[in-house]
Structure 1
Amino acid sequence: MTSAWILVGGRLVPGPALAALPHPDLVIAADGGARHATTLGVPVDLWVGDFDSSDGLTLDVPRDVHPRAKDSTDAELAIRLARERGSTSLAILGAFGGRFDHAFALALGAVRLAQEGLDVLLHSGDESGHPLRPGEPLHLTLAAGQTFSVLAAGPLHRLSIVGARWPLQAAEVPSGSGHTLSNEAAGGELVVQLTRGTALVTVLHPAGTLLAGDPYSVS
């Protein structure tokens, strides 16, 4: 499994959750996301975008330059390059915060990529996002009281949550429902699964907590 970090231009908060991520095989910066390389302490292998949000930033790395009038976001261009280079595990860092339209598109795109068979993680240091594949349980190890949500991007069929303060068993959840927001982990293993639908599980990471159980973190 070849892993890649995609650096995008949203919020990135240093802390233990980011420090727990194993270094990848490839780092691609999408335009202004290259600023996060210093925070992460990693070299950038490739820099892509229209470079409209990287004023004053200089990197001595190969650049893949695109016009501002294009059909893909800079993040999508970076993801495409990572896939062309054989990456099957993607951590999109700086995914939250910034412009809502870009963050929302990233979240929906991450779910689509996961349905195509890739391992995908969204992370901003203080918050992470994990696509939920129908029929495949998502296992996360969280601290007691750690906040998580299941975001229903479409109707969710037979959603189950085990290891939470408010568990669910084979529930039907409508698109955009607040019923599955701001739940709390019981401590230990959290298991979320559904039979059909499109969803993203988000986790808050207060200072001093670590996330385990996904492809990019350690127990």
Structure 2
Amino acid sequence: MTALVYCNGAPISDELFSEYRRQSDLLIAADGGAYNVLDHGSLPDVIIGDLDSYTDPGPAGCEVIHDPDQETNDLQKALSYALRRAARRAVVAGAIGDRLDHELNNLSVLLEFSRRFESLWMIDNFGCYFVAEPHQRLQTAAGKVVSLFPLSGRVDGITTSGLQYPLQNEALENGVRNGCLNQASDAAVSITHRSGALLLIVQH
């Protein structure tokens, strides 16, 4: 099962929403993300969160779950719900492009839950964000941006093929060196790393 989770950050385009909605079995609104879903002319299957942003009764036929726990944010609540519903894959919209503190927290949640899903992506109108597997292969197009960030602070043993600026058993480290704004030189891209958590940002 695939879940589409919509947060309360910057909305994606109607076209992108329609594409991912067609591929999903379950549409979860994380608190105020319900307003984003409604703005697309759609209805979420469930709204979950501490409900400090979504204050309406909820559309007819939509389950509303109030979870006041302040030790978890609304995205964590939504992803935990998706797992309880047996979703093995999830795509998250609206988690990027709002407040920097929210974005950084959501990237931490991405790292936390990437270990619990078969695949977990965040998307915005630019591209998709995900934690790389140790041996990651991508199908993209030449010229598309592929950025690499050491989400764990440092990532060692990075080797790439199919990128304009290749890495050969090299390290990326926050405050020292990152791999921002690399580009695909081929439709097939391979990225491997030995240790650490590597965030990939791939242009649509």
Fold agreement, TM-score > 0.5? yes
Q: CA 1:163–1:57 in 2, change beyond 3 Å: closer, same or farther?
A: farther
**Counterpart residue identity of residue 46, structure 2:** L
Identify unmatched segments of 5+ residues in structure 2.
Answer: none
Deviation at 1:45, TM superposition (A): 1.0
Aligned to 2:86: 86
- Contact kept? 1:152, 1:177, Cα under 8 Å: no
- 2:177 and 2:30 map into 1 onto residues whose CA distance is 32
Deviations 1:74-125 (A, max 9, x none): 1111111111111110111112111212211221221232234531010113
Of 113, 136, 140, the match for 1:142: 140
* Corresponding residue SS for 2:168: strand
- RMSD (Å) for aligned C-alpha atoms: 2.2
Superposed CA offset, 1:155-207 (max 9, x none) = 111111211110111112223544311111113012222111012101234xx
TM-score when scaled to structure 2? 0.87
Deviation at 1:41, TM superposition (A): 5.5
If asked which structure has higher relative contact order (CA below 8 Å, sep 6+), I would say 1
Q: Is the 8 A contact 2:3 2:90 kept in 1?
A: yes
Aligned to 1:209: none
Matched, 1:123 2:123: yes
Which residue of the partner structure matches residue 201 of structure 2?
202
Question: How far, CA to CA, are the matches of 1:84 and 1:117 in structure 2?
Answer: 12
* Structure 1 partner of 2:13: 14
Q: In 1, distance between residues paired with 2:203 and 2:175? A: 19
Measured in 2, the distance between the counterparts of 1:132 and 1:176 equals 20
Give matches, 1:17-32, under 5 Å.
Answer: 18-21=17-20, 22-32=22-32
Once structures 1 and 2 are overlaid, which stretch shifts more, 109-118 or 75-84?
A: 109-118
- Please say if residues 3 and 87 of structure 1, whose CA atoms lie closer than 8 Å, have aligned partners that are also in contact: yes
Instruction: Tell me: CA distance 1:140–1:62, structure 2 relative to 1, closer, same or farther (3 Å).
Output: same
The aligned residue for residue 163 of structure 1 is: 162
**What's the offset of the Cα at 1:54?**
2.5
Give structure 1 stretches of 5+ with no counterpart: 206-219
Instruction: Return closer, same or farther for 1:148/1:87 CA change in 2, 3 Å cut-off.
Output: same
Return closer, same or farther for 1:49/1:117 CA change in 2, 3 Å cut-off: closer
CA contact (8 A) 1:156 1:175 kept: no
Cα separation, 2, equivalents of 1:193 and 1:95: 26
TM-score normalised over the length of structure 1: 0.82
Report sequence identity in percent.
22
Shift in alpha-carbon separation, 1:56–1:161, aligned structure 2, 3 A: same
SS at 2:158 equivalent: strand
Secondary structure of 1:87 counterpart: coil
Structure 1 residues 188 and 17: CA distance shift in structure 2, 3 A: farther
Match of 2:150 in 1: 152
Counterparts of 1:26 and 1:118, CA distance in 2: 16
